[in-house]
C-alpha cells in the first residue's frame, strides 16, 4: 500500500459574517488543525482562555467553515487497484468534495472516514474541499426535534452529536466547541488488497506464551494467491517466526507489568501480505505486552470484589481520571502528553481512567501508557446524558465502537472497556429526564450493542457497563460494596474529610476536591483587578457554580482565614491534598477490601479552578506531590482519632476528646519488606515528648496495622504526631498528623529558610512547619517533594526542573499570620 500524506498547509475560510468581522477570504490553515488554532496562529482572534474571551469564541461556532487544498497525483497512484481518501479524524459535521463532486458526509469525530476516489481522482491537480458545519446550530436544531437531556454544565442538545461532549462545556471546562480536521489526512493507494483486520491473542503457559494471530484481507483487485507472514521481535531483538499452524511461540516470555510491579517489555508483531511475485502489498505492525489482565469479581465477606489481576497478581489501582488536555485539540501533542503521563509515574500511578466525556485519545497516548506501565480504564465516549437510539445513531455508534476497539485492543495498557460515565445511575434516577424509550435504549446500547461488538472484536479485555456500576441492568449501581464507585459526598455533598472513613469501596473510580491553580496560572487569564475569587473573570474560570462557596466553607472548618489572595490559593491546594490523602490512605490501609483509588481528576483542559492535581500549564498542585507520597509503593499512614472525628466544632461537647493514633504500613510491591517504624509525639516547637520504635515485616501486597497509641492525656492544641518507616536505615515514607484542625493548633513561628546548592534545596525550620511549599516566581519549579511537614530540622529536596531564581517558602503558619 502506498500512502501519500495530505497533511500540511490548506486554506480555510469562515462562511458568513462573524463575531470577529473576518471577511470571507481564504487563509492558510494547518491540517491537522482547527478553526480556533488557525485564527490564533494568524492573530485573527484573541486567546479564548483569557478573561471572558470564551464568549465571543463560542459565537464563532455558529458559522460554517470551508477547508480546501489542492494535491497532485501521479499516474502510478491512479494505477492502484484501490484509491482511498482517508481521514483519521474530523471534528465533526462535514461534507467532502473532490473536484467539485460530492463524496459524502462526515458526522462523528470518533470515527475514521474513508472515501473511494478511484473514479474521481485524476492525474495532476485535484481539489479537495471539506465544508464543516456549525456544531452549535446542529445540536440546537436536533434538540428541538427530539429532547435528550444531559449535564447542565454542557450545552443543551450535546448528546445528539458524536463530538467530545466537554467541548460544549463541563463543570471544569469552557464552551469552545471548535471545528477542524484534527487528525491526519492521507491517500491510500492499494494494490490488490490490504489488511482488513489483524487480531493477536495470547495463550499464557507456564514458561511460554503462544500467540494466535487471526487476520483477514480486504480485496481491491483480482484475487491472487496472497501470502501472509508474521514475525515477532522481542525487546532484545530476538526474532520469533510463525509455526506451521501460523502461531508464534514465545519462550521465556518477559511479562509486562503495571508501574511498580515489574518491567514493561514490549514485543513487536509485524505482518506482511505478499502477492505471488513476492511483492509486499501491506504491512501491519503493533507492539504488544505479554500479560494477562482482567478484573476479579468474587463474592466475599464484604460484598463482591472488584480488582485488576495482572499475570495472576491482584493489584491496587492507584491513579487519576484523565480529561482532554486542551479544548484546542491540535495543541495536544505527543511531547505534551508524555510530560503529563511521566508526571503520573513520578507520582507513583499505575492506572489512569480516560473519562467518557472527551474523545478517544490518540495512538501515542496508549503507546506511552504501554511504555510507562499505566493501566488504562477506557470509557466509551458517553457521559452524563440520555441518548436517543434510532437506526442512524445505532449504525453510527456501532461503527465508532468497532473502529476504536480495533485501533486500541492490542495495547498492553488496556485494562477495562467501560460503557460510559455515570449514566447507569443517572438514567435510573431520571436525572436528565429520559423518556421511557431512552431508559430502554440505555440498556440496549451498553448492555447489548457494545458488549456484543466486544465479544467479536475484543473478547479478552474486561467490559464494564458504566462507571459507577455494580454490574449493570440498573441493579444497585451505587452499592459501595460491589463494583466501582464515584463518591462525592466529600465535596459536592459538603461532608467533612472524615466521612471517607465510613466507606471501604471496592474500587473508588472517582472522588475529588477542587482547588485554585497557582498565582502564575491565574495571572495567565486575569488582569490584576480580576484577582479576587468572586470577580467575574475568576468565576468564568470556575465552572462549578457552588465551588467557591464550598472552598471557603471547607477552609472555615480547617484553616485560619487566609490573609490574602495568594494565601487563599495556597490554602485551597492544601485542603485538596488533605482531603484526598485522608481518603486514599484509609483505602490503602484496607487493601484487599478496597482495591482501587482513582482520583478525580488528573489534568485541566484550560486554566481554571478545578479538581485537577496538575493544572493546564503542567504545574503540580499540592495534591500531585501528596499523590506521590500516598501512592508510594510502600507507605506509612496514620489513622488518628481527634477533633475531626469526634467534635468538628470546638464549641460542641464533649470537651475531652480521645486522641489516638494507629499506624499502618501498606506494601504494594511483589516483595516482602522489613523495616522499622519510628514515631514521635512532639510539641509545636517540634520537641520530642514521647517516642517509640517497632520492627515490622510487611508481606508483599498487604497492609499491616500497628497497635493503637493513646495520647488522650495531652492537650490536642499543643501536640502532633510524626512517623516514618525506615528500610535499611532510610526513611521510605513519612508524615505527621494533628489531633485538631490546623486552624486551632498552636503553631510556633517556624523561621523557615532555604538555601540552594546545585540541584538541591535545603530547608531549615526551628519549629514544626506544616505543608511547607517551595515555589519560584516563574512557576516552573518541579522538585522531588513539596508541601511536606518539617519537624524543626534541616531537610533536603532535589530540583528536577525549573529556574532557581526567586525561590520562596511558606507553611501553614503563614496562612493567617
Binding site for ligand BMA (CB under 6 A): 170-172, 384, 421-422, 486, 510, 600, 611
- From 339, 380, 486, select the one nearest 426 (Cα to Cα): 486
**Alpha carbon distance 529, 562 (integer Å):** 19
**Helices and strands, counts by H and E, the chain:** 17, 48
User: What is the closest distance, in whole angstroms, from the C-beta atom of residue 140 to ligand BMA in the complex?
Assistant: 22
Nearest approach in angstroms of CB 576 to ligand BMA is 13
- The residue sitting closest to ligand BMA, measured at its beta carbon, is 171
The distance of closest approach from Cβ of residue 421 to ligand BMA in the complex, given in angstroms and rounded to an integer, is 5
> 476: number of CA atoms within 13 Å, CB side?
9
Q: How far is the CB of 381 from ligand BMA (least distance, A)?
A: 13
Q: Exposed, middle or buried by CB within 10 Å (0-12, 13-18, 19+), for 494?
A: middle
Residue 611: which residues within 8 A CB-CB, separation 6 or more?
172, 491, 512, 513, 514, 515, 576, 599, 600, 601
- CA angle at residue 98 from 196 to 402, to 5 degrees? 25
CB of 629 to ligand BMA, least distance (A): 24
- Closest approach, Cβ 549 to ligand BMA, in A, equals 15
Minimum distance between the CB of residue 238 and ligand BMA, rounded to whole angstroms? 44
- For ligand BMA, the closer CB: 582 or 600: 600
Residue 481 or 510: the one with the smaller Cβ distance to ligand BMA is 510
The C-alpha atoms of residue 420 and residue 426 are separated, in whole angstroms, by 11
Strand partners, 725: 677, 733
DSSP letter, residue 460: S
Determine the straight-line distance between the first and last CA of the chain, rounded to whole angstroms.
70
Beta carbon of residue 601, minimum distance to ligand BMA (angstroms, whole number): 7
Q: Which is nearer to ligand BMA, 423 or 752 (CB)?
A: 423
Taking 3-state DSSP, the helix, strand and coil percentages for the chain, each rounded to the nearest 5, stand at 25, 35, 40
CB contact at 8 A, 770 and 789 = yes
**DSSP states of 186-224:** EEEEESSEEEEEEEEEEEE-SSEEEEEEEEEEEE-S---
- Detail the DSSP E strand segments found in 362-401: 375-379
Please state the closest distance from residue 422 (CB atom) to ligand BMA, in A.
Answer: 5
**Nearer CB in complex with ligand BMA: 612/815:** 612
Residue 294 has phi, psi (to 5 degrees) of: -145, -175
Cβ-based nearer residue to ligand BMA, 255 or 385: 385
C-alpha cell at 103: 463524496
The residue among 163 and 486 lying less far from ligand BMA, judged by its C-beta, is 486
In the three-class reduction of DSSP (H, G, I as helix; E, B as strand; rest coil), residue 575 is classed as: helix
Q: What is the DSSP string of 337-353?
A: HHHHHHHHHHTT--EEE
Nearer of residues 143 and 421 to ligand BMA, judged by Cβ: 421
Q: How far is the CB of 418 from ligand BMA (least distance, A)?
A: 12
Q: Which is nearer to ligand BMA, 418 or 763 (CB)?
A: 418
Contact 147, 158 (CB under 8 A): no
Q: Residue 14 forms beta bridges with which residues? A: 65
Which residue number, 288 or 383, has a Cβ lying nearer to ligand BMA?
383
| CB nearer ligand BMA, residue 113 or residue 600 | 600
Of 171 and 578, CB closest to ligand BMA: 171
Q: Which of 273, 271, 282 is nearest to 232 (CA)?
A: 271
Give whichever of 417 and 611 is closer to ligand BMA, judged by the CB atom: 611
CA distances from 71 to 12, 126, 722 (A): 15, 5, 68
Q: Which is nearer to ligand BMA, 128 or 547 (CB)?
A: 547
- Min dist. Cβ of residue 346 to ligand BMA (A): 24
- State which residue, 380 or 723, has the beta carbon closest to ligand BMA: 380
Beta strands 33-34 and 101-106 are unpaired
Residue 53: what are its φ and ψ, rounded to 5°? -60, -20
Measured at the CA of 562, the angle between CA 561 and CA 566, to 5 degrees, comes to 165
Cβ pair 203, 210 in contact under 8 A: yes
Minimal distance in Å, beta carbon 324 to ligand BMA?
12
Amino acid at each position: 500500500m502506498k500512502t501519500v500524506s495530505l497533511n500540511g498547509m490548506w486554506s480555510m475560510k469562515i462562511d458568513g459574517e462573524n463575531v470577529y468581522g473576518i471577511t470571507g477570504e481564504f487563509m492558510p490553515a494547518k491540517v491537522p488543525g482547527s478553526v480556533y488554532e488557525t485564527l490564533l496562529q494568524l492573530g485573527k482572534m484573541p486567546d479564548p482562555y483569557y478573561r471572558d474571551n470564551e464568549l465571543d469564541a463560542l459565537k464563532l461556532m455558529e458559522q460554517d467553515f470551508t477547508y480546501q487544498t489542492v494535491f497532485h497525483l501521479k499516474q502510478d497512484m491512479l494505477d492502484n487497484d484501490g484509491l482511498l481518501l482517508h481521514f483519521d479524524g474530523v471534528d465533526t459535521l462535514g461534507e467532502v468534495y473532490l473536484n467539485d463532486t460530492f463524496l459524502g458526509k462526515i458526522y462523528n469525530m470518533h470515527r475514521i472516514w474513508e472515501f473511494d476516489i478511484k473514479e474521481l481522482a485524476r492525474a495532476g491537480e485535484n481539489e479537495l474541499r471539506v465544508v464543516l458545519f456549525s456544531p452549535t446550530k446542529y445540536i440546537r436544531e436536533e434538540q428541538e426535534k427530539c429532547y435528550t437531556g444531559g449535564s447542565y454544565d454542557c450545552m443543551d442538545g450535546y448528546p445528539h452529536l458524536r463530538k467530545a461532549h466537554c467541548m460544549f462545556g463541563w463543570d471544569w471546562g469552557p464552551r469552545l466547541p471548535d471545528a477542524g480536521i484534527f487528525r491526519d489526512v492521507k491517500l491510500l493507494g492499494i494494490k490488490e488488497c490490504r489488511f482488513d483486520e489483524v487480531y493477536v491473542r495470547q495463550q499464557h503457559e507456564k514458561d511460554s506464551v503462544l500467540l494466535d494471530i487471526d487476520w483477514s484481507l480486504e480485496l481491491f483487485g483480482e484475487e491472487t494467491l496472497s501470502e501472509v507472514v508474521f514475525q515477532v521481535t522481542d525487546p532484545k531483538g530476538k526474532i520469533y517466526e510463525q509455526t506451521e499452524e501460523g502461531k508464534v511461540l514465545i519462550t521465556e516470555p518477559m511479562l509486562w507489568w503495571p508501574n511498580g510491579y515489574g518491567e514493561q517489555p514490549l514485543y513487536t508483531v509485524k505482518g506482511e501480505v505478499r502477492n505471488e511475485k513476492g511483492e509486499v502489498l501491506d504491512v501491519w505492525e503493533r507492539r504488544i505486552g505479554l500479560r494477562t489482565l482482567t478484573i476479579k469479581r468474587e463474592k466475599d465477606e464484604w460484598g463482591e470484589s472488584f480488582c485488576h489481576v495482572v499475570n495472576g497478581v491482584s493489584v491496587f489501582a492507584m491513579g487519576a481520571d484523565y480529561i482532554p488536555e486542551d479544548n484546542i485539540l491540535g495543541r495536544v501533542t505527543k511531547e505534551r502528553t508524555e510530560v503529563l503521563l511521566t508526571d503520573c509515574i513520578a507520582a507513583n500511578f499505575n492506572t489512569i481512567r480516560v473519562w467518557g466525556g472527551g474523545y478517544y485519545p490518540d495512538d501515542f497516548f496508549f503507546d506511552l501508557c504501554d511504555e510507562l506501565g499505566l493501566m488504562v480504564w477506557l470509557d466509551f465516549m458517553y457521559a452524563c446524558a440520555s441518548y436517543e437510539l434510532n437506526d442512524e445513531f445505532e449504525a453510527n455508534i456501532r461503527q465508532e465502537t468497532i473502529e476504536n476497539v480495533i485501533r486500541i485492543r492490542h495495547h498492553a495498557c488496556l485494562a477495562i472497556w467501560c460503557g460510559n460515565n455515570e449514566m447507569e445511575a443517572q438514567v435510573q434516577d431520571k436525572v436528565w429526564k429520559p423518556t421511557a424509550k431512552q431508559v430502554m435504549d440505555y440498556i440496549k446500547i451498553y448492555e447489548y450493542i457494545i458488549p456484543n461488538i466486544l465479544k467479536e472484536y475484543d473478547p479478552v479485555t474486561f467490559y464494564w457497563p458504566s462507571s459507577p456500576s455494580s454490574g449493570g441492568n440498573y441493579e444497585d449501581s451505587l452499592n459501595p460494596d460491589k463494583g466501582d464507585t464515584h463518591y462525592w459526598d466529600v465535596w459536592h455533598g459538603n461532608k467533612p474529610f472524615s466521612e471517607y472513613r465510613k466507606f471501604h469501596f471496592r474500587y473508588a473510580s472517582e472522588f475529588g476536591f477542587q482547588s485554585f491553580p497557582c498565582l502564575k496560572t491565574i495571572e495567565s487569564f486575569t488582569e490584576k483587578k480580576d484577582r479576587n475569587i468572586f470577580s467575574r473573570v475568576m468565576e468564568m474560570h470556575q465552572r462549578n457554580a457552588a465551588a467557591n462557596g464550598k472552598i471557603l466553607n471547607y477552609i472555615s472548618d480547617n484553616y485560619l482565614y487566609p490573609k490574602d489572595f495568594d494565601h487563599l490559593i495556597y490554602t485551597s491546594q492544601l485542603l485538596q491534598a488533605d482531603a484526598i490523602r485522608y481518603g486514599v490512605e484509609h483505602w490503602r490501609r484496607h487493601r484487599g477490601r478496597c482495591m482501587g483509588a482513582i482520583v478525580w481528576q488528573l489534568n485541566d483542559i484550560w486554566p481554571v479552578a478545578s479538581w485537577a492535581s496538575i493544572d493546564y500549564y503542567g504545574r503540580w498542585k499540592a495534591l500531585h506531590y501528596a499523590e506521590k507520597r500516598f501512592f508510594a509503593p510502600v507507605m506509612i499512614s496514620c489513622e488518628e482519632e481527634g477533633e475531626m472525628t469526634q467534635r468538628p466544632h470546638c464549641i460542641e461537647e464533649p470537651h475531652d476528646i480521645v486522641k489516638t493514633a494507629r499506624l499502618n504500613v501498606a506494601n504494594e510491591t511483589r516483595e516482602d519488606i522489613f523495616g522499622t517504624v519510628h514515631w514521635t509525639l512532639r510539641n509545636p516547637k517540634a520537641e520530642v515528648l514521647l517516642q517509640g520504635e517497632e520492627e515490622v515485616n510487611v508481606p508483599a501486597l498487604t497492609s499491616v496495622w500497628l497497635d493503637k497509641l493513646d495520647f488522650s492525656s495531652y492537650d490536642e492544641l499543643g501536640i502532633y504526631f510524626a512517623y516514618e518507616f525506615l528500610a535499611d536505615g532510610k526513611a521510605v515514607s513519612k508524615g505527621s498528623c494533628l489531633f485538631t484542625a490546623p486552624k486551632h493548633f498552636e503553631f510556633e513561628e517556624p523561621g523557615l529558610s532555604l538555601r540552594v546548592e546545585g540541584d538541591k534545596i535545603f530547608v531549615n525550620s526551628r519549629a514544626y512547619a506544616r505543608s511547607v511549599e517551595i515555589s519560584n516566581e516563574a512557576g516552573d519549579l518541579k522538585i522531588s517533594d513539596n508541601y511536606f511537614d518539617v519537624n524543626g530540622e534541616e531537610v533536603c529536596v532535589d530540583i528536577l526542573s525549573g529556574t532557581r531564581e526567586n525561590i520562596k517558602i511558606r507553611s501553614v503558619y503563614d496562612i493567617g499570620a
